[in-house]
Amino acid sequence: MTEEESFEVTPWDVEGNVDYQKLIEKFGTKRINPSLKKRFFKDAGEENLYMKRDFVFSHRDLEKVLDDYENGEGFFLYTGVGPSGPMHIGHIIAFQMTQWIQEKFDVNVYIQFPDDEKFWSRDVDYDDIEKFAEDNLKDIAAVGFDPDKTFVFKNTEYIGHMYKAASKVAEKINNSVASAVFGFDSSTNIGLNFYPALQLLPTFFEDKRCLIPAGIDQDPYWRIQRDIAPKFGYKKAAQVHNKFVPALTGPEGKMSSSKPKTAVMLSDSPEEAKDKILQEAYSGGKQSKEEHREKGADLSVDVAYQWLYNLFMQDDERVEEIGRKYENGEMLTGEIKQILGEKLGEFLKEHQRRKEEKGDELVEKMMYEGNLAKKMWDKKIQL
């Protein structure tokens, strides 16, 4: 972090209290404005909660994606997750967004598991990475992708189909760009130096425009993609960026599996999750009941309210009413946490049921057996 900035966002870490407007300016992305939202919802045939509440807040070329859709050219989706631990609520957002777009626009989805990147960037060995990947894959399956239009792959397994094309991408990225964009220095291992070529490659899996729903921390990769895509005769990848689900413990940083107190894991039982909310969730309410009744809560830092508003409560009127009453002191922190606890518990129960009942079968389809997967194993990626 430099002195004038109080936050830092990189693909590996998020620190401080993120100012999303500043991030848009720094990364050179665009805010999703009301007219673009309206057009997106119209084409989708439905409103999307995350975009409606500005949790998915920023984009690049989303209007071009909609042009391509409206004129029949179409587009495809790409996202990913690094298997370095069990997944938490924050990790699942971009996948839910991706699944929603797939369902509404009926398009292909590619999901990368960069097991190699986690080996290079974290202190974990391949045995652990394997175990995390196995579990994470079932979480992804529970999100409900179309198994015939979704291809999920681990880099170490699919590499033979990607390597030649990735080497061509790698040739276009020099060390000064890599260090400027990612902050690589002389202590960075050379595996990580090559990795950006692999994270970019799926944006070239089809000739159509690629749309990437992901957290805004992944943006550095796409800046490079947009520089080099025209050199290969491909379209620049478009993105929709989500904000970070704040850590339970407060507005600083993001929820992170390496800091368990900050996170609700997708594997937490509904009761565990409710307990975490009650005990850990940072409150914007006042210390004493009297003071709270008089002054009310600061919604902007209240984790339970933020989660409800951004992620769990579809009903606009209800969430606004709760916000109003909490802000003017009519409602207490405990009540907000209770409402969130119920919603979160229902979500986890349903997620875990789908993971348990259908996980193995769907993973098999999305990795090997489904229509898109079979097609991808039959070809080598060309650039």
Rounded CA separation 41/32 (Å): 12
Q: What minimum distance in Å lies between the beta carbon of 344 and ligand TYM?
A: 15
Closest approach of Cβ 380 to ligand TYM, in Å?
Answer: 20
Hunting for tokens 């080598």 — which residue is that? Answer: 380
| C-beta nearest to ligand TYM: residue | 215
In the numeric block, the tokens 């994606």 are attached to 65
Give the residue, chosen from 79, 98, 150, 225, that forms a contact with ligand TYM under the rule CB under 6 A: 79
Size of the site for ligand TYM (CB under 6 A): 24
Query: 321 is written with which tokens?
Result: 């009413």
Among 215, 220, 345, 370, binds ligand TYM (CB under 6 A): 215
Query: If binding is defined by CB under 6 A, does position 58 make contact with ligand TYM?
Result: no
Candidates 44-52, 211-219, 350-358, 365-373: pick the segment binding ligand TYM (CB under 6 A).
211-219
Residue bearing tokens 């097609």: 375
For ligand TYM, the binding residue among 18, 32, 77, 94 (CB under 6 A) is 94
Closest to ligand TYM by CB, 243 or 292: 243
Determine which residue in the list 162, 212, 331, 340 makes contact with ligand TYM, applying CB under 6 A.
212
The alpha-helical segments, DSSP class H, found in the chain are 20-27, 34-44, 49-52, 62-70, 89-105, 115-121, 126-142, 155-171, 175-182, 190-200, 219-228, 270-280, 289-295, 303-307, 316-327, 333-364, 371-377
CA distance 352 to 139: 8
- Output 177 or 335, the one with its CB closest to ligand TYM: 177
Hey, how many other C-beta atoms are within 10 angstroms of the C-beta on 191?
12
Contact between 253 and ligand TYM by CB under 6 A: the answer reads no
- The closest of 201, 157, 104, 190 to 367, measured between CA atoms, is 157
Q: Which residues bind ligand TYM (CB under 6 A)?
A: 11, 78-82, 90-91, 93-94, 112, 114, 117, 199, 212, 214-215, 217-218, 242, 244-245, 254-255
